[in-house]
Amino acid sequence: MKRQWLNQKRLLAIFAFLLLAISLMPGKVSSAIAFVPYQVIRAMLAPPSTMIRSIFGSDHEDLQVHIKQGGKDELEQELGQAIAYIRQLELKVKNLEAMIDRLTQTGERIDLAGLRMVDARVASFSGSEIKPILELERGSNKGLRKGQAVVHGFNLVGEVVMTTAMTANVALIDAIDSQLMVKLIPPSPGEMPRGGLETFIQYDQQQEAFEVKLGVNEDVRIGDLAHLVDERWREESHGFIVGKVVDINNDTDRPLLTKRVIIRPTIELKNLNRVTVLVPIE
């Protein structure tokens, strides 16, 4: 199939070049004929800036370009702003593509066939540091049963341990001495492929994170994601993210042989307002 020659990016470049050419004309002439290309560029730039703000949130800088009519100097300044804006927009698009790649790679490890996703509001946090519990405003009347996995996005939250008709209790994965079998995998498919390492990790309350000791030659890096592969958990929970490698240091007991790997959940489990329960379709 032939590629379309005149796309939005090329059209924007053409009008930007036209503005540059107009800026070389005498001031009155350039001001008179710059109106049309100025309006076209403004119309083409406004929608992308709105989209980027909605995707990346209000904490990112406003990328809106404010173009004003004027003489040669003003037009040259406006052209510089437009070019800078295009470069920022391209960077944001690349970051968004990388985010989509990571989510796609994670999604490929998760099988949601035959499941009903039940959204549940968190009523309260209770229990203790030894066994932290979330109470949900959903229960057996919505199909919730003991042992079902509870998630938030692609992140594993815990499992249902008790239900009533209208409520359910969820034991969080960050209980003291909690042990999980995970597979450590690079976060981005664009990286050089590395074989995933399967290992048991154990929650350490002092670190507020999971910990595992591995051989010094194991290829594990900061940023790697820990995906659940524990056979003690229901199959539908496999593949969800337990946490991310945030620190690697030498083991003080055997520094030449082993290293300590710290894995922390990527979300604040105790502060969640809503979660999703994976309910098998009967």
Higher pLDDT among residues 176 and 233, named by residue: 233
Quick one: pLDDT at residue 36? 56
Distances (CA, A) of 32 to 11, 13, 245: 21, 21, 59
Average pLDDT estimate for 112-116: 84
- 243 in a domain, yes or no? yes
Residue 208 and residue 91 in one domain:
no
Distances (CA, A) of 201 to 145, 180, 228, 245: 26, 5, 10, 11
Residue 221 and residue 151 in one domain:
yes
**Alpha-carbon span 149 to 252, nearest angstrom:** 36
Quick one: pLDDT at residue 60? 44
Of 107, 132, 165, the last residue of a domain is 107
Question: What is the residue range of 84's domain?
Answer: 8-107
Of 80, 107, 134, the last residue of a domain is 107
**Alpha-carbon span 102 to 108, nearest angstrom:** 10
Of 107, 140, 163, the last residue of a domain is 107
Residue 100 and residue 125 in one domain:
no
**Alpha-carbon span 133 to 260, nearest angstrom:** 28
Residue 100 and residue 134 in one domain:
no
Using a pLDDT cut of 90, give the percent of the chain over it.
Answer: 44
Residue 224 and residue 257 in one domain:
yes
Residue 208 and residue 189 in one domain:
yes
Residue corresponding to tokens 């379709």: 281
Q: What is the CATH number of the domain that holds 124?
A: 2.40.10.340
Residue 56 and residue 166 in one domain:
no
Structure confidence by residue, pLDDT tens digits, 23-45:
666 555 555 555 555 555 555 55
Residue 89 and residue 221 in one domain:
no
Our measurement of the distance from residue 222's CA atom to the centroid of its chain's CA atoms, rounded to an integer in Å, reads 16
**AA identity, residue 63:** L
Residue 171 and residue 136 in one domain:
yes
Structure confidence by residue, pLDDT tens digits, 126-185:
877 788 999 999 999 999 999 999 999 889 999 999 999 999 999 999 988 799 999 998
Quick one: pLDDT at residue 1? 46
Residue 163 and residue 268 in one domain:
yes
SS3 105: helix
Quick one: pLDDT at residue 56? 43
Say how many domains are in the chain. Answer: 2
**Alpha-carbon span 220 to 216, nearest angstrom:** 9
Residue 154 and residue 272 in one domain:
yes
Reply yes or no on whether the pLDDT at 217 is more than 60.
Answer: yes
In this structure, what are the phi and psi dihedrals at residue 164, rounded to the nearest 5 degrees?
A: -120, -175
Residue 98 and residue 123 in one domain:
no
Average pLDDT estimate for 184-192: 70
- 99 in a domain, yes or no? yes
